[in-house]
Structure formats: C-alpha cells, structure tokens
Chains A and B, each alone.
Chain A
Amino acid sequence: MSTLEIKDLYASVETKEGRKQILKGATLTVKSGETHAIMGPNGSGKSTLAYTLAGHPKYFVDSGQALLDGEDILKMTADERAKAGLFLAMQYPVEVPGVSMTNFLRTAKTEVDGKAPAIRTWTKDLQDAMKNLRMDKKFASRSVNEGFSGGEKKRAEVLQLELLKPKFAIMDETDSGLDVDALRIVSEGVNRAKANTGLGIMLITHYTRILKYIKPDIVHVFAGGKFVKTGGPELADELEETGYDQYLPEGATESAMA
C-alpha cells in the first residue's frame, strides 16, 4: 500500500512574459488502488499539476510538497521520480527519432527496476502487452512515437504503463483525440494495469466519456490552480449537466466548454 500526498503545492511556469504562477495551493491524497478523476476547465492548471509532479524543467515549484510514501519527489530529478514509482502518460507524447521502441522500453525497464529484465519473460511480456493493446508487431522496431498517429501514441503510453508497473500514474487527457474503439482499448489497458499492480491513478480529463470505461472512486473539480470540489462519481454526471462555468473566476469571459 502506497500513498501520494500533494500538500499545498504552488508552482509556476516559465513563459515568454516571465514566470507565471499556475498552481495555487493544490492539495490531494491518492492511495494505491484508488482512481481519482481530475476535471476542470481549460487553463485551470491540470496539466501543470501533472508536469510539475513529473519534473518537467519548464515548471518551478514555489512551495509545497509531494510525498510518495513520505519521500518528497519534488526534490528528485525526473528519472528519480520515475524510479520512485511515478508515471506520467502524456497528452502529447514526444517523438524521439532514431531510438527504437524496443531499445527505449528495455532501457526504461532496466532503469526503473534497477536491473535488466530476464530476456525470455521480457520478450513475452512485451508481445502480450502489445497484443492486448492491438498494436502491430512492427511498432517495436519503429522510433519512439515517430510517425505514430494520435491514437497510436496513446496506446504506446499505456503500453509503457503496463510494462513499467508504477505505483502511481497520472493520465493527462489520455482520452483526447481517440475514437470510440481506441478509447475502449486504451481504457482496458489502464484497467488491466490497475488490476495487475493495484496502482493509484490520477485521471485528468475534460470529459466524462472516458469515465464510462475507467470508473473513478473520487471525482475532483480543479479550477484556478487548486482543487475546489470533491465528490463521488455522481459529481462527474453533475459536471456533464452544468459545465464548469460556476467554477470559473469572477469576470471570466470565455466559456469553459469552448
């Protein structure tokens, strides 16, 4: 049983106009086996929360902590956070030309586990995971994310989730850009990972569509850089009805659902 405690987190992003504070006191506790849906309007800071936790160099922690079983991951480098058991499934996975998926996955697995995987079981695990995600075998020999369609990139993210077996996964808008079939396949992968390892999940999304496939235990509304409301699965249905407008700051002109 593991716990991820985000405590009063303030963080800024480097922009052309200078530093801009986005996270303003985010607090959340996620335990193994729990699925938290984090919903909110555009620009509320959901992705900033994800990238700050994962250690992207563009984001700066101003104050606060993120304790993974008592260890503050915010003091670690990005690779140390991954080794500690954190995984970020990105909204826009990055292409790395010339580095094959096979080489990348084996290197990552070796680093995360601290030892190289046994060749025979590794090959089988990889093949099974790819088959489950309906990924063609030739993906393994292609460069990381290079020339992948949007849906293929998302499957590749879930493939890594299944193989690296983290304690906690942040899924940043994994549902965006997926058609119905791909959404189901990707969701099945996330559910399979959870069933196999009992990981805790933070599922960041705009829409309730993915929640039909990945059932959340707890639903949060994230707005203005912090968690503003927490409830059960019924909160998602309520958001579907009423939208995010009531959570927008005073004087906001742009509709959240735009």
Chain B
Amino acid sequence: MAEQEVNIPVADPNDPYAMPAAMPSSADNQTRSFEVDDFKVPTRKQEDWRYTPLERISEFFDVFEPSGETKVTVSNIDGTPVDASQVVRSVVERGEAPSGTVMKPNDRVSAVEWNSGGKSVVVSVSGELSQPVLVDVEGHGADLDSLHLVLQVADRTHGDIVVRHQGLARLAEGVEIVVGRDAHVSTTFVQEWDRASKHVGNQRIHVGEGSSLRHAVVTLGGDIVRLRMDQDFGGPQSELNMLGIYFAEAGQHLEHRTMVVHNFADCKSRVVYKGALDGKDAHSTWVGNALIQPTAPNTDSYELNRNLVLTPGPVADSEPNLEIENGNIIGAGHASSVGHFDDEELFYLQSRGITESDARKLVVRGFFADLIEQIGVPSIAEHLMNVIDRRLARGESADMQAVLEDK
C-alpha cells in the first residue's frame, strides 16, 4: 500500500486566529528561569498580578538577606518522633538535587525566593506511613525570610504530609513536591498565620506515573497570603486532586492560583476551591488554570470555585482559565460562583426554630464541612472545623449586625 502524504497545517503568524489549534499556548510562552532579572517587576498590568495588592508585597520583588526567623520542625502528627526508616529530614544546598528539580521559577517572586538564602529543607518519605507527618513552619518575627522546602515522595509510598504555617512571619516560600511512581499520598498546607503575617509562596508539583496526589490548601490567617501552584505529570494514568478552603476577613487578601498541566495521556485532575468572605475589604482571588496539551488524550479534568459572601464589603475574584489543545478528551469542565446566603436555606432552618444568626453559622459550616472531610486527615479536619467554628462565633456581634442592617 502506498504511503499517504499527511499535511500538517501550519499557522500563519500574521493571522493566528485563522487556525486557533496551531496557536502556541499562552502557558508555553511564560518565562521559566532561576534568574531574577529574567522577570520584570510585577505591575497590575501583568495578567498574573492584576488582582494582587502589589504595594503590600513589594519587599518580595528583589533579592534579600533572609532573617532565619522561620523554624521548621518535623514530627508525626501526634507530636511523636518520626520513624527514621520512613521519614528523613535533611538540609541541602539550594541548587543540590532534589532541590531545584521540579521545573524552574515561573515569576519574579519565585526567582527572588530561589536566590535569597542558600539552603533547602528536604523531607523525604517512603513506604507505608503509619500516621501523617507534620512539617511545622513557625514564624518568629516580621523580618523578611525565605524558606525552600522539598517534599520528596518515593515510588510506591502511601501516606499523608501536613505542612502547618503559624506565627508571625514575612515569608517568601518555595515548595517543591516530587511524587515518584505508583505512590498514593496527600499533602495538606494549612496557613494559620498571625494577623500581621505575609506569605508569598510558589509551589511546583510533579506527580509521577501511576501516582495520585491529594493536595489541600487551607488558608485562614495572615494579612496577605498569595500562593501560586504549578503542576505537571510524570507519565500516564496519574491523578491530581486539589482542594482549597479559605476564609477571608476584613482587610485580608488571600490569593490562590492553580496551574494544572495535562502533559500525558489518561490523567485525571480535579480542582475544588471554596471560600467565605466576611467584613469590609476582605479580598480573595482564585485563578484556576488548566492546560491540556496535544500529548494528553483521554484527559479528565474539572475545576470549581465557590465563594460565599457573608457581609457587605468583601471582594471575591474568581477566574477559571482552560486551554484545551487536544480534542480527544473525556472532559474539561469548570464552574465558578460568588454568592450571598440562599434565602430558602435560611428560611428552612428558621422555620424549625433556629435563629437567623445560628442558621447562617450552620450554612457556612456546611459550606466547608464537605471539603474539610475530604482532606482525609481526621485530626486536622477536626482542628480546622474548630477553627472555623471559633471564627463564626466571633463574627456574631458587630459583623452580624451589619448584615441585618443592610437588608
């Protein structure tokens, strides 16, 4: 049989919209570099920074001498020492593997973090972990500090890692998550900073072939927290499940940006972020990017963001972006919403004798409860529900009055 000639269409650079499928993806165009000067100083005109109050994080735009006020301790979740045969903590030069192996910095602040300070903390886990590992990151002051943390998960590991941020800090943080083959793990990042803390973080995540990663982010504290999380797969039949929970109060800016890249066939991703906002100038931003490359047939992806606005005055930005370069996929969906309380839900609860303020609390609690349960680490889930309950109890007086008066 004669070979058939195959014509591959070529895009016309003068008219890119004539053949959208041949356009280079926007994600491909982004700079990746360890050099700070390869990135311009952020301005609100740059797409990645349009929602961020840049004036509050301008100290993170140039290389600095880290204060070393951030302490990292590693233990089991119940406080007991880790099993040294399964969990190893080490400190390496920042440029020494596995540090610096998961992609390159992708924006100015992550390049600044990389070049501010010389060491990386590596937590390596392997085998069947008998209980979750807790990486405690504690801030001890408002002087500018940097932390580069690498979570290295060996092939065929089963287990959970919790990274908890607390205390007072001004932290540029880089996190690399390297998941080997056929591993099934979860990583949960909890931000319970003091109210004055600032946290500018960049995560680079690699999920190995046949592995699944449940990645959860819970941001409750801090003055400003901005986390950008970029991910790719190491082979087919891998799975990524990203959960996010945030509760922004007056004056807080909590920003989460996820970038899921489907670069292999038969992979599945889910991104579900839910947030509540309470009080004047509470500000949340969620930007969910998903890129399905031509090399990723049978991709199954979905992303969702829901925002519940509890009082007048907050701002919630919610922006899903999908870039689909492969027609042969199972699905690529998204949903996004910003809303107030549902009157019907409140009336139903009130008609059973529950006061309006209690009904509101029940609804907010319910809004988060499903997702918190999915984190899959019971002690952390219980702790987080308690934190949210305390937050709700606290909001009852002045803020609740504001809601009622606004009606």
Docked complex Cα distance between A82 and B344 (Å): 16
- Stretch in B29-37, B78-86, B133-141, B352-360 touching the partner: B352-360
Docked complex Cα distance between A93 and B352 (Å): 12
Residue with the greatest number of chain A CB neighbours at <10 A, chosen from B345, B349, B353, B358: B353
| Cβ B363 vs Cβ A99 within 8 A | yes
| Cβ A98 vs Cβ B348 within 8 A | no
Residues of A within 8 A of B343 (CB): 57-58
Give the nearest-CB partner of A160 in chain B: B352
Q: Interface size of A by Cβ–Cβ distance < 8 Å?
A: 31
| Cβ B353 vs Cβ A97 within 8 A | no
CB within 8 Å of A: which of B337-386?
Answer: 343-345, 347-356, 358-359, 362-363, 365-370
| Cβ B354 vs Cβ A107 within 8 A | yes
Given A57-B347, A78-B347, residue A112 in contact with residue B365 (CB < 8 A): no
Which applies to chain A's interface (DSSP): helix, strand, loop or mixed?
mixed
Residues of A within 8 A of B358 (CB): 107, 111
Given A79-B355, A79-B356, A107-B358, residue A98 in contact with residue B365 (CB < 8 A): yes
| Cβ B366 vs Cβ A82 within 8 A | no
| Cβ B345 vs Cβ A78 within 8 A | no
Count the A-B residue pairs with Cβ separation under 8 angstroms: how many?
Answer: 83
Residues of B within 8 A of A112 (CB): 352-353
Q: Interface size of B by Cβ–Cβ distance < 8 Å?
A: 23
Docked complex Cα distance between A56 and B345 (Å): 11
| Cβ B349 vs Cβ A98 within 8 A | no
Mark B72-102 against chain A: 1 for CB-CB distance below 8 A, else 0. Answer: 0000000000000000000000000000000
Residues of A within 8 A of B349 (CB): 96, 99, 104, 108
| Cβ A98 vs Cβ B368 within 8 A | yes
Answer yes or no: A54 CB below 8 A from chain B CBs: yes
Docked complex Cα distance between A96 and B364 (Å): 10
Given contacts A79-B353, A96-B362, list 16 more A-B pairs with CB under 8 A: A56-B351, A57-B343, A77-B350, A77-B356, A83-B353, A93-B348, A94-B348, A97-B366, A97-B367, A99-B349, A104-B352, A107-B354, A111-B352, A112-B353, A160-B352, A164-B353
A sample of 6 inter-chain contacts (CB < 8 A) reads A58-B343, A79-B351, A98-B369, A104-B352, A112-B352, A112-B353
Interface residues of A (CB under 8 A from B): 54-58, 77-79, 81-83, 87-88, 90, 93-99, 103-104, 107-108, 111-112, 143-144, 160, 164
